[in-house]
């Protein structure tokens, strides 16, 4: 069951904070498909290509865990955080960075922050789209997807 309908923000989030809120709701409900319409075409392509490669590897090596065996890297750590809140927003000339603060009620020392990397939609400059996610340790979602298949198993 969806916590928030895709149309809840109309054509799309009109503020970076709205997209951050939608991201947190999707993350906490484990319904990342809620973000499908908010991705830039380049991020959507990177995800589609990675999922296709992952499926090929899984079909070729069914007894081995594929590179995306833990799912897409929507956050730095795949452990389920029971809290997610939008933090500070930073603007650059062509991007907006929105902090997403993950928290663990039972283990507050494990709390961490990722950053959503947003751009304005090409079709409608009033709408923001998710272009990448800056993860901890200097990785991004896109760089993780690219590197995940660098050492593909050989038949």
- How do residues 48-74 score in pLDDT, each as one tens digit? 999 999 999 999 999 999 999 999 999
pLDDT per position as a tens digit, 102-119: 999 999 999 999 999 999
Contact 76, 143 (CB under 8 A): no
Does residue 152 lie within any of the structural domains? no
pLDDT at 1 over 80: no
Could you give the CA distance from residue 22 to residue 7 in angstroms, rounded to a whole number?
Answer: 11
Return the H-helix or E-strand segment holding 2.
Answer: none
The pLDDT, as a whole number, for residue 8 is 41
Note down the domain range covering 49.
6-147
Q: Write the CATH number for 21.
A: 3.10.450
How many domains would you assign to the chain? 1
Does residue 100 lie within any of the structural domains? yes
Q: Helices marked H in 12-152 — which ranges?
A: 16-29, 41-60, 141-147
pLDDT at 7 over 50: no
* Phi–psi pair at 39, nearest 5 degrees: -80, 145
Contact 144, 125 (CB under 8 A): no
SS3 of residue 102 by DSSP: strand
Does residue 1 lie within any of the structural domains? no
Could you give the CA distance from residue 148 to residue 4 in angstroms, rounded to a whole number?
Answer: 31
Does residue 153 lie within any of the structural domains? no
């Amino acid at each position: 069951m969806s916590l928030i309908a895709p149309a809840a923000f109309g054509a799309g989030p009109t503020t970076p904070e709205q997209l951050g809120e939608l991201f947190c709701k999707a993350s906490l409900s484990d319904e990342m498909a809620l973000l499908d319409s908010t991705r830039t075409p380049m991020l959507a392509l990177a995800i589609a290509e990675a999922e296709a490669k992952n499926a090929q590897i899984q079909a070729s090596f069914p007894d081995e865990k594929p590179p995306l065996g833990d799912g897409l890297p929507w956050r730095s750590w795949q452990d389920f955080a029971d809290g997610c809140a939008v933090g500070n927003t930073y603007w650059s000339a062509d991007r907006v960075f929105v902090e997403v603060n993950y928290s663990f009620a039972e283990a507050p020392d494990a709390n961490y922050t990722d950053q959503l990397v947003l751009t304005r939609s090409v079709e409608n400059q009033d709408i923001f789209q998710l272009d990448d996610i800056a993860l901890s340790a200097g990785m991004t979602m896109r760089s993780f997807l690219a590197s995940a298949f660098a050492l593909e198993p050989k038949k």
